[in-house]
Amino acid sequence: MNKLMRVCATLILAATTTLAQAGEVEVLHWWTSGGEAKAVATLKKMMEAQGHTWKDFAVAGGGGEAAMTVLKTRAVSGNPPAAAQIKGLDIQEWARIGVLANLDDVAREENWDQILPPKIAAIMKYKGSYVAVPINVHRVNWMWANPEVFKKAGARIPTTLDEFFTAADKIKAAGFFPLAHGGQAWQDATLFEAVALTRLGVEDYEKAFVTHDMDVLSSDKMAGVFATFQRMHQYIDPNSAGRDWNVATASLIQGKAAMQIMGDWAKGEFTAAGLKAGKDYICKPAPVTQGMFTFNVDSLAMFKLNNEANTKAQKDLARTILRPEFQKIFNQAKGSIPVRMDMDMSSFDACAQASMKAFKSTSKSGGLTPSFAHGLATTSAIQGQIFDVVTNFFNDPDADPKVAAQQLADAVRSAR
């Protein structure tokens, strides 16, 4: 065989090996806003670069409720996707019914136990084995502000609740919407969660939403949370019912609204619009929550498959997600921070750098607490009960905060 023929033979062999190993990954997620779509495109690209086929299974709807309903239908019919965005305690529930794949071999090869914070690794494991891969850490207790609107209204960006209401009054009087918001249950719960953290502090927040202490849930303090939450309603756009969160973020970008209390996926929208942190928009912890961090970890749980090539593609997907290259580009687009604690943050924006610093310091100080609005503190059954009480309360101007606190306790009790 001459040299040219030998090279050709090697190339053909390489191509057929790649083809034989190339599989398809179907990935269920709800990342359909501008920033989210850019982020998920980075994963698609990296999978395609490895020869695999990406089958997009996007189900629109912030917070993922619609996606979870669709996933259940697919799973019941015995045809789940290779991977699905399933978070927090729900990972355990899916693993318990025996449908999730074991990722321990990839985890061992890639040192997941060494690179992940132990608290997050534990969420991804069922009976000591990895069944899901974490993608990022979102901080939920953020407040986003449009500095131009503040300037026009002569208001200061608030760090306390009193300052918040003073600023909101000025902004409203100047003809802007103080608070960008979308009237959907999960968004109401996201705002309520920030107020709860503000008024209860981490210890009572956890008693209420993690360990479900009935005394705290029905307490006067909790009634105070509902009262503050109710007071905020007058500062949102009256046409916000049903509005998507990213449309609310867009009203901030367009200079119609001044603030939004929302997780840092909102930053993905600013980034996608070409805006610069600290100049075009400001990030501050939600009032009074400096030194606290409500965390929300996106993760893909992997389903058992019976096709060898697709299983290989699924493992490559899991492997790719925790590689530094992906952690960087995905999280820069998504607004979150890497879930690997060993990343160089110098190319991230100031808000992400602040978030990583706060994540690390609150891990030690005890200010790190799971977000119930995003499925990290409770199961989706309890979460659903909380959402109902919170959203019904928010939409009824005559609702009584004391009654709501009792309803909250009753609702949580009924779902346990």
Q: Which is nearer to ligand GAL, 32 or 406 (CB)?
A: 32
Whole-number minimum distance, CB 95 to ligand GAL, in Å? 19
Q: How far is the CB of 292 from ligand GAL (least distance, A)?
A: 18
Across the chain, which distance is largest between two alpha carbons, in Å? 88
Nearer to ligand GAL, 30 or 142 (CB): 30
18 C-beta neighbours (distance < 10 Å), count? 12
**Smallest distance, Å, CB 175 to ligand GAL?**
29
Binding site for ligand GAL (CB under 6 A): 30-31, 36, 62-64, 138, 245, 265, 296, 298, 374
Please, which residue, 260 or 296, has the CB nearer to ligand GAL? 296
Q: Tokens for 79, please give them.
A: 């045809």
DSSP 46-80: HHHHTTPEEEEEE---GGGHHHHHHHHHHHHTT--
Count of all residues that appear for the chain in the document:
416
3-state secondary structure of 3: helix
CB contact set of 378 (below 8 Å; sequence gap of 6+): 89, 209, 210, 212, 372, 386
Nearer to ligand GAL, 30 or 348 (CB): 30
Say how many CA atoms lie within 13 Å of 309 toward its Cβ: 13
Shortest distance, position 338 Cβ to ligand GAL, whole Å: 14
CB of residue 309 vs ligand GAL: minimum separation in angstroms?
Answer: 29
Question: What minimum distance in Å lies between the beta carbon of 244 and ligand GAL?
Answer: 9
Q: Smaller CB distance to ligand GAL: residue 228 or 296?
A: 296
From CA 268, how far away is CA 246, in angstroms rounded?
10
Name the residue among 83, 32, 5, 20 with its Cα closest to residue 334: 32
Six token digits for residue 375: 């499925």
Position closest to ligand GAL via CB: 62
Residue with tokens 């996606």, as numbered in its chain: 67
Rounded to whole angstroms, the Cα distance separating 329 from 336 reads 11
N- to C-terminal Cα distance for the chain? 73
CB of 89 to ligand GAL, least distance (A): 14
**Residue 30 vs 226, nearer CB to ligand GAL:** 30
Supply φ then ψ for residue 406, to 5 degrees.
-65, -40
Minimum Å distance from CB 123 to ligand GAL?
Answer: 13
Choice between 63 and 117, CB closer to ligand GAL: 63
Of 85 and 289, the one with the shorter C-beta distance to ligand GAL is 85
Which one-letter amino acid corresponds to residue 309?
A
